[in-house]
Amino acid sequence: MRRNAAAHSVPAPAYITRKIPVYELLNEEELARLEDHADWILSEIGIEIRGDAVALELFREAGVSVDGERLRFDCGHARALCASAPRTYTMHSRNPARSIVFGDDNLILGPAYGSPFVTDLEGGRRYGTMNDFENFIKLTYMTPWLHHQSGTVCEPVDVAVNKRHLDMVYAHLRYSDKPFMGSVTAPQRAEDSLAMARIVFGEDFMQKHMVIQGNINVNSPLVYDDTMTGALRTYAAANQGNVISPFILGGAMAPVTQPASIAQAHAEAMVGIALTQLVRRGAPVVYGSFLTTMDLKSGAPTFGTPESSLATLAISQLCRRLGLPFRCGGHLTASKIADGQAMQESVNNMNPAIMSGANFIFQAAGWLEGGLTIGYEKFVMDSDNCGAVERMLGGLTIDDNELAADAYREAGVGTNFLGVAHTLHNFRTANYRAALADTSSFEQWSEDGSADMQQRAFKRWNKMLAEYQPPPIDPAIDEALLDFIARKKASLKDAWY
C-alpha cells in the first residue's frame, strides 16, 4: 500500500453517526404489498439489459429467464441474488482519517454530481470548465459537513470528453483527501479511474479494500444500457463500489402514482445490485433512489414535493428490509438561482432523506435547475444546512448536565440564564451556528447593505477559495499520476462525444 502514511489532522468527523430513530411511514402489510408488486413487475413485465451480452449471460447462469435482452425473475429471486452484498463496509481515503463507513447508522454527505453548467452571482450561468471542477473539489474539501467528494461535480467541457475523466480523477486525488467517485461514461474510463486509484492505494490494497465508486443510473423504466452495466461490471470486478440509482420522474419513467414508482424503483435497484454480486460476490454496493415528480401541466421535473418525500420514505424502508446502505435525497431544486424557491425545495427534499435513515446523500450541495447547473452560492448555502443535519442526527442527551438543575437553583424564576455558570460552561458547544444566517437587527442589516443570503454566500465561497490549502501528497505519487495522464492523453485523439 502506497498511501500517504502521515494522516493529517481532520477538523470534523469523517462521517455522521445517527443517534435518532428512523421514521417508518408504512406498515408491514403495505411494505409486503410493495415488495410483491416489485416481484410482479420483474416476473411479468421484466427488465432489459441492452447491448451487454456478458451481463445477460451472468443472469442466465444464475437461473434468470433471459428472452433476447429481456430478463424475467421468479418471485423472490432478485432479492435472493442481492443477499451477498455487504450490509456495511469501509471506503478508504488516501488520508485514513477521512475513510468512511457505508451502512448501519452512518450518514455520508457529498456535493452535486453531473451538471454541465455552473453559475455564480458575478459570472452568471455558463458551461463548466476544469477550473470550476477544481473549485468545487476545493470547496468540498474545505467544508467540514461534506464527507465525500462526489464525482463529476460539474462537467469540465473545456477538456475533450474522452480525456476529461483523467483530469477529474486527478483533481479528486490531488486537491482533496476525501473519498470520491470515478468515471462511468465508458468501461475504459472506469478502468482508467481504477488505474489512477491503484497508483495512490496500490493494487494489493484495492483487491481487498474499497477506495472508489461508480455512480450507476438506471434508464428507467426497466432498462439498463451497456454503458452503465459496463461501468458497473468494471468497478464490481475490481471489488470496488457501485451506487445503483433508478432515475424516475413519476408520470414519465414510471406511472404517475407513487406506489407504482416505488415498487418499480425497488425492482430496478435490485437487478443492478444483483448484477454486482454476479460479477463478484460480496462487491460493495449502495441501494440508491432518485425518484421525483413532474409538473403534470408542463412535463417539467419538480423537486422537494410532498409526493417525492413520501416515496423516499417508503423506498428507504424497502431498502432497510434488504439490509443495504441507502442513498437518496439531497438539496434538489428546479430553481435557476439560489432564491427562496431553491431553499424551500432543497430543504423539503433533504428532510425526508434525513428522517428515512439514508446512509449516503450526494447532491447535497450546489444543485440547481433540476441538476443542469451547480451554483457557487447554492453550494455554501446548502453546506450550512448539512451542518445542521449533522447536529440534528446527534439527537438529545438526557443527563444531569443537560437538565441543568443547578442553573435553576442559581437563576430562580423571572430572571434570565445568560450569566449563570451552567450557560457559561455550555454555550460554546450548545448550538450549531450556520455561517450564512443573518440574525442581526433590521437596522444593523440595513447598515451592512441589506444583503440577501446569496450575496453573503458569494463573499463566503470567494473567501474560502482564497484561503484554500491543498492536502499534502507524496511527490512521487503525484508525479506518477501526472505521468499516467500524460501518456493516456498522448495515446488518444480528442473526442467530443
Q: Report the site for a copy of itself in 91-120 (rule: CB under 8 A).
A: none
Stretch of 136-144, 204-212, 449-457, 466-474 lying at the interface with a copy of itself (CB under 8 A) = 449-457
Single out the residue of 17, 131, 207, 450 in contact with a copy of itself (rule: CB under 8 A). Answer: 450
491 is a contact residue toward a copy of itself (CB under 8 A): no
Please identify which residue in the block is written with the cell numbers 424557491. 341
Question: According to the binding rule CB under 8 A, does residue 251 interact with a copy of itself?
Answer: yes
Query: Which residues within the stretch 324-383 sit at the binding site for a copy of itself (CB under 8 A)?
Result: 334-348, 351, 355, 369-370, 372-373, 381
Residue 144 interacts with a copy of itself (CB under 8 A): yes or no: no
Judged by CB under 8 A, which of 161, 436, 465, 485 binds a copy of itself?
Answer: 436
How far apart CA 247 and CA 219 sit, in angstroms, is 7
Contact flag: residue 12 with a copy of itself (CB under 8 A): no
Under rule CB under 8 A, residue 78 binds a copy of itself: no
Q: Is 131 in the site for a copy of itself (CB under 8 A)?
A: no
For the bound state, the minimum distance from the C-beta of residue 226 to a copy of itself, rounded and expressed in Å, comes to: 13
Q: Which stretch binds a copy of itself (CB under 8 A): 38-46, 52-60, 107-115, 142-150?
A: 38-46
| C-beta of 159 vs 464, nearer to a copy of itself | 464
Residues 204-243 that bind a copy of itself (CB under 8 A): 219, 221-223
> For residue 452, what is its C-alpha cell?
440577501
Stretch that binds a copy of itself, among 139-147, 232-240, 305-313, 489-497 (CB under 8 A): 305-313
> Closest CB to a copy of itself among 64 and 283?
64
User: Which of 12, 101, 160, 388 touches a copy of itself (CB under 8 A)?
Assistant: 388
What distances in angstroms separate CA 454 from CA 143, 252, 435, 462, one per listed residue? 18, 33, 12, 12
Q: Return the number of the residue (76 or 427) whose C-beta is nearest a copy of itself.
A: 427
Q: Grid coordinates standing for 190?
A: 472506469
Is 121 a binder of a copy of itself (CB under 8 A)?
A: no
- Looking up cell 448539512 gives 386
x-marked contacts with a copy of itself along 163-192 as a string, rule CB under 8 A: ------------------------------
Name which of 442 and 497 has its Cβ closer to a copy of itself: 442
299 contacts a copy of itself (rule: CB under 8 A): yes
Q: Could you say which of 56, 453, 464, 473 contacts a copy of itself (CB under 8 A)?
A: 453
Q: What is the smallest separation between the CB atom of 184 and a copy of itself, expressed in angstroms?
A: 20
90: β partners: 101
Considering the complex, what minimum distance in angstroms separates the CB of residue 62 from a copy of itself?
A: 20
Our finding on whether 415 is near a copy of itself (CB under 8 A) is: yes
275 near a copy of itself (CB under 8 A): no
Residue 490 grid cell: 498522448
Q: Which is nearer to a copy of itself, 6 or 398 (CB)?
A: 398
Nearer Cβ to a copy of itself (226/384) = 384
For residue 146, give the nearest of 395, 415, 442, 364 by alpha carbon.
364
The reply to whether 319 sits near a copy of itself by the rule CB under 8 A is no
Tell me if 63 contacts a copy of itself by CB under 8 A: no
Cell 434525513 found at = 354
| Interatomic CA distance for residues 216 and 276, integer angstroms | 11
Least distance (Å) between residue 348 CB and a copy of itself:
6
CA distances from 158 to 115, 155, 176, 400 (A): 14, 9, 22, 59
The answer to the question of residue 420 lying near a copy of itself (CB under 8 A) is yes
Residue 16 interacts with a copy of itself (CB under 8 A)? Answer: no
* Cα 219 to Cα 58: distance, rounded to the nearest angstrom: 20
- Is residue 247 a contact residue for a copy of itself (CB under 8 A)? no
Judged by CB under 8 A, does residue 203 bind a copy of itself? no
Q: Which range touches a copy of itself (CB under 8 A), out of 229-237, 239-247, 272-280, 443-451? A: 443-451
The values of phi and psi at residue 44, to 5°, are -90, -50
The residue range among 5-13, 147-155, 203-211, 388-396 that interacts with a copy of itself, by the rule CB under 8 A, is: 388-396
